[in-house]
A and B are shown apart, each in its own frame.
Chain A
Amino acid sequence: MKALLMWVGALIGVAGILLLAGMILNVVPSSAVRLVEGYMPMQMLFELTCFVAGFAGLSYVMSAMGMPFPRFWQGIGFWAFILLYLKYRVYPPIPFSVRAMYGTVSLVAVFMWVSASEEDWKKFKQPIMNVLDAQTGMNKLLRYAYLVLLPILIGGFSYNAMMPKSEEPIELRTVHPAPPASTKVHGKTYTLQTSQNPYRVNQEGKYDQEYTNANIVEQGMGRLMKPNANPWDDKNQGYLKYVREGGEIFFQNCHFCHGDNLNGRGLHAFAFNPIPANFTDPGTIAQLQETFIFWRVSKGGIGLPNEGFPWASVMPPWEQHLTVDEIWKVILFEYWHTGYYPRTWD
């Protein structure tokens, strides 16, 4: 049973290596095995889990066949695999800073694995010790080669690091700066901690967070409207009616940049750098109170506080174009459409 499992694992490992090699050589596109929207993060972790199981199986099978793969090369190979996986498998491309973080952590992981027991550690460092001891002609040659190559490599890195570059500098952008305690819109002051969206009401017109939460679209594979919760049904009153009105305002004013799918990829989006906010991402409106959005929509990029450095937002201060009611309604629509609940406090 164990041998069978290991064989299956080994096959997965080989398939994974071949697939990745294909992606690196551009024979197989990265999207050949699709990252499915909505499941991407777990899919990535699942793939990595399969690879670990696969490599464990491969190692077992090779040992059983009398061709054990040296521990040293196992460690180096696995680390290289992770680096290549992050660069060639995951799309869109991961920024270098994050790959560097992941690469460093993976290197630590490999070290922890190969040195967890004394026996493993001895196996791992044996090839290094062999080269340093240089008891054979080949090892002697390798030692001289390292003597020459390592300084050149380090020199190359230093040169590369010191060489002036013409790339645009990296920006540490604060996407969601802290809001003020209150904001004044059209002559009225709103306390952000306590204000509420006046249109989050049930059919009787009473403020009802639970009712509105129950009528947002469902997330998952695409977004689906709940049965009997179609805002474009003229008979609807209360929340769904205001969602429709908010939607009309959105498509008259906002969708050119934020996109008709609210993912920040509107008609004009790629004229801006950075492109407009993607409301479907769980890190944007899903993390924020409605009053935060109210403040940002009202004041726009020009109203960002000092903390919002480098103020990379071209959003107009919508208070100059919309009424307070319209702003609240459009916010209502954004949450409805994305299927997210605004942040609330107990």
Chain B
Amino acid sequence: MAPLTGKRVFSIMALCMMVGLLLLPIVIALPSPAIGEEAPAGDTAKKDGDKVEKGRDVYYKTEGIVVGAPAPKTTDGPKDYPRYNFESRVLIWFANQQHLYYGSFVLAVPIFCMIIEFMGVVTKDKALAKRYDQLAYDFIKISLTAYSLTAILGGILIFTFLTLYPAFFGYLSSIFRPVMHIYALMFVAESGTLYIYYYGWDKMKEGFLKWIHLSMSVVLNIIGTLLMFLANSWIGFMMSPAGVDEQGRYLGNIWHVIHTALWNPLNLHRILGNMAFGGGVVAAYAAYKFLAAKTDEDRAHYDWMGYIAMALGVAFLIPLPFAGYWLMREVYAYRQQMGITLMGGLLAWLFIIQATMIGILFLSSNYYLWQAMGRMRGAEKYQRYIKYLVFLLICGFLVFITPHTMVMTPAELKAMGGQQHPVLGNFGVMSAKNGGINVMITTTVLSFIWYMRGNKVSTVSWAKFGNIFMGVFFACAYINIIWLAIYGYYIPANVRVGLSVPQVATTLSCLFFMFALNSVMMRGAKQMGPIEWGKISVRSQYALIMLSTAFTWMMALMGYIRSSVRLFWHVNEIMRDNSPWAYTHTVGFAANMISFNVLFFWISILFVFWMGSLSAKKVPVEARAGIPGGVPQPAPAAGH
């Protein structure tokens, strides 16, 4: 057993402190429900004798003692809706979106750091381990600057709420009062943990201490995730309120208020979304640095960084549509009209735009992987088949983006002979779209597998059988997905919804089984040549930038859709929005606003990157040899 050095003691103390910080809000929170449930009830009983007013939970249908005031009935005027000479909703939209972007980024990047740091710890190749560690450090450094900006934007958001929507914010705060201080304490815990994690990096870089440091990243991410869950409970409450009666009076059970119908699907969707977004942003950073790089070493480094970030982002992108599907299913189950407004009614066109963005994400990811095969010797054998993958992807994409209600002139409507097109109209419903997206995801998995075996030739004795098995498996997967999509038209809707399960299972089977089989087949494989990091076309880097821009655009779009589905309610069916802006914006206005938010975010994040680069230390060149695939070769001006 190693002796207990000062550093060790310090590290263990720091870890304990983090755990303490993590537990602190929970400990403080413990009496809160009790306060919410019992103390006011006791007070009321004292005041009114034995009479206590009871209400019925609008969602859980349980009875509870009324302990809160009803939701305010606002009127259009300076009292409830003070304003500048500008649309208040647009201001709050902007503040909220920017805060969300940065919040997502600073929550996602530490998860990346945790994964990359872990990869560094378990990698046996020391040079590579060092590179992973450096990469994780670079990530957290960027995150640190962004963290300050997140806090500033959070402050701006609260001030905007207080200034422009005081009645609404007051009501929401009163409902969430039992956990408001926990929310604040979580921020303290997150900040403290982040700083210890960051500044302790160099002190805890070897052996046991490294494991302690890694544990800190776990604690950091638990705090961050809990923080996000709490924030999600606010929007969950606004969409699908619970824990209050019909008048919006709090019934004393804070868990009901938090655990609304849509809370869990929102939590999962946001975790995955944040991760995919974080990967996209870091990949774009790497792409920018690659394009601006002056030396082959820098190109190799940023090529590698972009690849890792993209791979992590796409790993979380693949399950994202399934999480979205679950969320939508829960929305339909919660309120049919909300689901129809989203996907069949007023906001359906935004969903077509969303489908287009999802398609762009998958197209960009595949394109990047095909380009990345160009830096491998031996991958040429796959490149001639890429056109067929393009065809599969595009067919899936076209089905996925086909609108059910088409935009057309009255003359076109007459020529078509009805509102629905007899051929393409069939692509406009969910059954076909499930097939489309699963074909796209399965094709992405296939591209990844081709990439993984690009420069390798399997040496296992059963390689031929393995290849045939994989080919047949993928063919069967495509047939099954397409067949189920067609079958969906012939069965009841509730069964059709359930068909998504075997479709998803097919896609995930391809993902897990084929990855596993491929890994086994490629163990000890003959290398046709090294991966020549840095020798990738510039088009691939533009694909990464496209990927991340599509992520940011889609995040803003989906945020807008999720928020505007409440229509004229601040809190759905509880608190009405009586401001002059309680209408749904046109698709064009929303698209412009989203684009503005995206543009602002990218400009500001460039500033963050620049700030991060001010304190950048040059990475020792000796470590470069550790990049998988060996020393980068001088790169010609590829792809011009």
Interface status of A145 (Cβ within 8 A of chain B): no
Residues facing A in B392-409 (CB within 8 A) are: 393-395, 397-399, 401-409
Chain B: interface secondary structure? helix
Interface status of A283 (Cβ within 8 A of chain B): yes
Q: Contact mask A120-131 → B, CB, 8 Å, 1/0?
A: 110000000000
- Of chain B, the residue at the smallest CB distance from A341 is B492
Verify B406–A97 contact, CB threshold 8 A: yes
Q: Contact mask B373-400 → A, CB, 8 Å, 1/0?
A: 1100000100100111011011101110
Verify B404–A307 contact, CB threshold 8 A: no
- Of chain B, the residue at the smallest CB distance from A192 is B336
For A151, the chain B residues whose CB sits under 8 A away are none
Write the nearest CB–CB distance from A191 to chain B, whole angstroms. 10
For A281, the chain B residues whose CB sits under 8 A away are 418, 420, 422, 425
Cα(A295)–Cα(B80), bound, Å: 36
Cα(A219)–Cα(B345), bound, Å: 27
Interface status of B417 (Cβ within 8 A of chain A): yes
Write the nearest CB–CB distance from A169 to chain B, whole angstroms. 8
Interface status of B419 (Cβ within 8 A of chain A): yes
Verify A345–B340 contact, CB threshold 8 A: no
Verify B490–A109 contact, CB threshold 8 A: no
Verify A98–B403 contact, CB threshold 8 A: yes
Cα(A219)–Cα(B491), bound, Å: 10
Interface residue stretch chosen among B178-186, B426-434, B619-627: B426-434
Write the nearest CB–CB distance from B416 to chain A, whole angstroms. 5
Write the nearest CB–CB distance from B46 to chain A, whole angstroms. 39
Verify B416–A344 contact, CB threshold 8 A: no
Q: Contact mask A49-92 → B, CB, 8 Å, 1/0?
A: 10010001000000000000000000000000000000000101
- Of chain B, the residue at the smallest CB distance from A274 is B419
Verify B335–A193 contact, CB threshold 8 A: yes
Cα(A328)–Cα(B631), bound, Å: 75
A interface residues, tally (CB under 8 Å): 76
Cα(A341)–Cα(B409), bound, Å: 32
Cα(A49)–Cα(B413), bound, Å: 29
For B393, the chain A residues whose CB sits under 8 A away are 109
A174 touching B537 in the complex, CB below 8 Å, given contacts A40-B423, A105-B397: no
Interface status of A159 (Cβ within 8 A of chain B): no
Interface residue stretch chosen among A11-19, A229-237, A284-292: A284-292
Query: Which one of A108, A169, A274 contacts B413 once the chains associate, using CB atoms below 8 Å?
Result: A274
- Of chain A, the residue at the smallest CB distance from B426 is A41
Max chain A CB contacts within 10 Å: which of B486, B492, B494? B492
Query: Which one of B359, B380, B424 contacts A98 once the chains associate, using CB atoms below 8 Å?
Result: B424
Verify B409–A168 contact, CB threshold 8 A: yes
Write the nearest CB–CB distance from A265 to chain B, whole angstroms. 7
Verify B403–A283 contact, CB threshold 8 A: no
Write the nearest CB–CB distance from A277 to chain B, whole angstroms. 7
Interface status of A24 (Cβ within 8 A of chain B): no
Interface status of B12 (Cβ within 8 A of chain A): no
Q: Knowing that A98-B407, A283-B425 are A-B contacts, what are 5 other residue pairs whose CB atoms are under 8 Å apart, sorted by A's residue number? A: A35-B422, A95-B406, A170-B408, A177-B345, A283-B420
Q: Chain B residues in contact with chain A, CB under 8 A?
A: 332-333, 335-338, 340-341, 344-346, 348-349, 359, 363, 366-367, 370-371, 373-374, 380, 383, 386-388, 390-391, 393-395, 397-399, 401-429, 431-432, 486, 489-494, 497-498, 537, 539, 573, 587, 638-639
Nearest 5 interchain pairs by C-beta: A341-B492, A95-B408, A178-B337, A343-B493, A178-B341
